[in-house]
């Protein structure tokens, strides 16, 4: 069987997967449409396997990395007395309080990719907390399809409150110096934008391909923003023009980067939407930004 490569796949397949991943169609419709691209040596199972996340071979910082103390904790969230589970990570050899970063998952719960991002960020000298918004429903179920279905059952504004509670938990943690930022991806990008709206003393926010807040909410933002967008992401990028105008009109510190010819999810190294060059450059910018605003 031919080994599939990214260049073998048409852009329409990535767009189709994006629609499916963002609940624009159910799995049956997705597979029916995907089958149209299974031609010649490319079978439907091979195509489906290729575009699905591969967590087993993609983790860059293992859960037992000897440089880190990385463990699951729980914290209280205000809606209904919920307990939220999150992955807490910090350098083992640190002797001082560190700035904190909340790491916010996509629309499928705290999967291995986001856990990995939490650990990567901790290795840069931050104390990190990566919450699982699926905690009230039992937590991330072990696969993204079920995770998406579960997350659809939760109200997004209640989940926002869960992440704000994570900020409050980390800000007052004994290992944190009180400066806390947020980085989030997709749904987590929207959460990052909204945390900037809702938290006056948020130190910095880095939304990756996240939906923008309404114009009336932009005026409330105090935190500096680093906005990361995928050049091919028409769905999210459609909101940029109005957002940019509002940011400038309200003199909100921000910088935006559009990475040409890459798809929504380009930072996620577990799927073929991953773009190594854009992911590495955007992450370098992210860490530099956090160093400036949380350590400077």
pLDDT in tens, 104-139: 999 999 999 999 999 999 999 999 999 999 999 999
Residue 62 lies in a domain: no
Contact between 102 and 181 under an 8 Å Cβ cutoff? The reply is yes
Which residues lie below 8 Å from residue 2, measured CB to CB, with a gap of 6+?
8, 41, 42, 46
Residue 41 lies in a domain: yes
By mean pLDDT, which of 46-50, 140-144, 276-280 is the weakest? 46-50
Which residues lie below 8 Å from residue 207, measured CB to CB, with a gap of 6+?
183, 184, 188, 189, 190, 192, 193, 225, 227, 228
In the predicted model, is pLDDT for residue 155 greater than 70?
yes
Residue 245 lies in a domain: yes
> Do 200 and 286 belong to one domain?
yes
Q: What pLDDT was estimated at residue 80?
A: 65
Which residue, among 40, 38, 47, 45, has the nearest Cα to 4 in the 3D structure?
A: 47
Q: What pLDDT was estimated at residue 49?
A: 87
In the predicted model, is pLDDT for residue 1 greater than 70?
no
Per-residue model confidence as pLDDT tens digits over 72-111: 999 999 876 789 999 999 999 888 999 999 999 999 999 9
> Do 32 and 138 belong to one domain?
no
Q: What angle do CA 168, 173, 179 make, to 5 degrees?
A: 65
> Do 39 and 176 belong to one domain?
no
Which residues lie below 8 Å from residue 149, measured CB to CB, with a gap of 6+?
none
Give me the residues paired with residue 84 across strands. Answer: 75
> Do 123 and 30 belong to one domain?
no
> Do 87 and 20 belong to one domain?
no
Kindly indicate the confidence band of residue 2, based on its pLDDT and cuts at 50, 70 and 90: low
Q: How many domains does the chain have?
A: 2
Angle between the 187-198 and 156-171 helix axes, to the nearest 10 degrees? 60
CATH number of the domain residue 180 falls in:
3.40.50.1820
Domain that holds residue 46: 6-51
Enter the pTM of the model: 0.95
Q: What six digits make up the tokens of 96?
A: 């001082």
Q: What pLDDT was estimated at residue 167?
A: 98
Q: What pLDDT was estimated at residue 249?
A: 96
Residue 221 lies in a domain: yes
Q: What pLDDT was estimated at residue 4?
A: 76
> Do 129 and 90 belong to one domain?
yes
């Amino acid at each position: 069987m031919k080994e599939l490569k990214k260049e073998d796949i048409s852009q329409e397949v990535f767009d189709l997967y994006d629609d499916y991943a963002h609940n624009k169609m159910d799995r049956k419709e997705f597979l029916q449409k995907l089958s149209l691209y299974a031609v010649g040596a490319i079978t439907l199972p091979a195509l489906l396997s290729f575009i699905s996340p591969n967590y087993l071979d993609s983790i860059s910082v293992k859960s037992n990395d000897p440089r880190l103390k990385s463990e699951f904790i729980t914290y209280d969230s205000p809606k209904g007395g919920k307990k939220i589970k999150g992955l807490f990570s910090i350098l083992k050899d640190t002797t001082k309080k560190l700035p904190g970063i909340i790491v916010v998952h996509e629309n499928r719960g705290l999967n291995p990719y986001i856990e990995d991002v939490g650990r990567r960020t901790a290795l840069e000298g931050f104390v990190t907390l990566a919450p699982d918004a699926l905690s009230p429903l039992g937590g991330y179920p072990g696969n993204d399809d079920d995770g998406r279905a579960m997350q659809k059952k939760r109200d997004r504004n209640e989940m926002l409150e869960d992440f704000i509670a994570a900020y409050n938990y980390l800000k007052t943690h004994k290992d944190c110096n009180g400066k806390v930022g947020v980085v989030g991806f997709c749904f987590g990008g929207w959460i990052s934008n909204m945390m900037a709206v809702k938290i006056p003393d948020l130190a910095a926010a880095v939304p990756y391909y996240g939906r923008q807040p309404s114009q009336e909410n932009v005026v409330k933002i105090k935190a500096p923003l680093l906005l990361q967008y995928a050049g091919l992401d028409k769905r999210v990028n459609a909101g940029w023009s109005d957002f940019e105008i509002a940011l400038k009109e309200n003199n909100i510190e921000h910088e935006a980067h559009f990475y040409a010819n890459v798809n929504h999810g380009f930072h996620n190294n577990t799927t073929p939407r991953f773009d190594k060059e854009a992911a590495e450059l955007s992450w370098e910018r992210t860490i530099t930004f956090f160093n400036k605003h949380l350590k400077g």
